[in-house]
Amino acid sequence: MSRLFSPWRLRGVELKNRIVVSPMCQYMAQDGVAGEWHRVHLGSRAVGGAGMVIVEATAVSPEGRISPGDLGLWNEAQEEALRPIVAFMRSQGAVPGIQIAHAGRKASTAPPFRGGSFLSPGEGGWPILAPSALAFGSGGSPREMSEAEIGRVRESFVGAARRALSAGFDYLEIHMAHGYLLHSFLSPLSNRRTDSYGGSLDARMRFPLEVLDAVRKVWPEERPLGVRISAVDWVDGGWDLESSLVLARKLKERGVDLVDCSSGGIVPHAAIPVAPGYQTAFSERLRKEVGVATLAVGMITDPAQAEHILVTGQADGVALAREMLRDPYWPLHAANRLGVEFPWPAPYARARS
């Protein structure tokens, strides 16, 4: 019996296997509205056999976008555009998930395939919000958020969660990683506030945990809620694994079912030792020391590697990103490699080897 292809229950939701399509920004939306690209991109990964497909980081407000091409979930048109995509993913046996986010000081940039540079208001950009007035690299200068703005952003997350529920998603993930707004509150490298939202670890965790508490209240008890974290900043004096263990305990206490363990993104100069499975030690520590379910992510490409991660207790599931861009049907091929009987979509069955 393959662990990778065993069922996985999170609250009232069951995944048919432990393969997750990681949220991957496509930068192809118009005014935050999903289009044909998203239908095909997400639909093909569901057809490919993944247990869960998580929609890319979806902005909770216009200024929360990374780029003008980001998906959004702050109005009815955006919600309605996602509804048929969700229905199709579910029809193919994939649990539909979505990650909601605010880009913070990494907002207002061109898509990476158009240079990724900062966009001024005259170039179609917008004002940037952050815990402190510290720019990300050569990006735009953010404004330190007032407490009123903190409250408005918190309510934007709640609104996006309600729309995600209305659109039919079964899994919701809050983005607290990669240098975006909630992570930038957590890290001492980006949060230099002197009020109750900065300074000590507890104070830096305050706003992300307020967002979590508010979202958990509107997200149904029977549906799982996850959080993506950057387990370490990879910079001396930054967010570290011990801080992540403290945070993970608080996340679990507040009803988080799954911690998606990534890393980095808070500063552009971090030296990250990227290699196959380079982040699995983080998911393993959180899983074993906190007792929370974890997702391993980062340079997972081979079926035997994914199976090994799960069998050895490094994580409860694996999330694949770039490998799923290269091969939307990775789960079908992985089943063949591992000798697992796994159904192919009927129109493709004649191609099964």
The pLDDT of residue 272: 96
Distance, C-alpha 335 to centroid of its chain: 25
- For 116: left if phi > 0, alpha if psi spans -120 to 50, otherwise beta; the answer is left
Q: Is the pLDDT of residue 138 over 90?
A: no
Residue 124 has a CB neighbour count (10 Å cut-off) of 11
Per-residue pLDDT band at 65 (split at 50, 70, 90) = very high
The CATH H-level superfamily of 8-341 is: Aldolase class I (3.20.20.70)
| For range 127-154, the mean pLDDT | 96
**214-234 pLDDT, tens per residue?**
999 999 999 999 999 999 999
Q: Is the pLDDT of residue 342 over 90?
A: yes
**100-130 pLDDT, tens per residue?**
999 999 999 999 999 999 999 999 999 999 9
SS3 16: coil
| For range 242-250, the mean pLDDT | 98
The pLDDT of residue 1: 87
Active site residue 180: yes
The pLDDT of residue 294: 98
Per-domain residue ranges for the chain? 8-341
| pLDDT mean across residues, the chain | 97
SS3 245: helix
pLDDT exceeding 90 applies to what percent of the chain? 99
- Residues ≥6 apart with Cβ < 8 Å to 115: none
Alpha-carbon distance of 298 to 48, in angstroms, equals 20
**5-23 pLDDT, tens per residue?**
999 999 999 999 999 999 9
Of 27, 171, 180, 329, which one is the catalytic site residue? 180
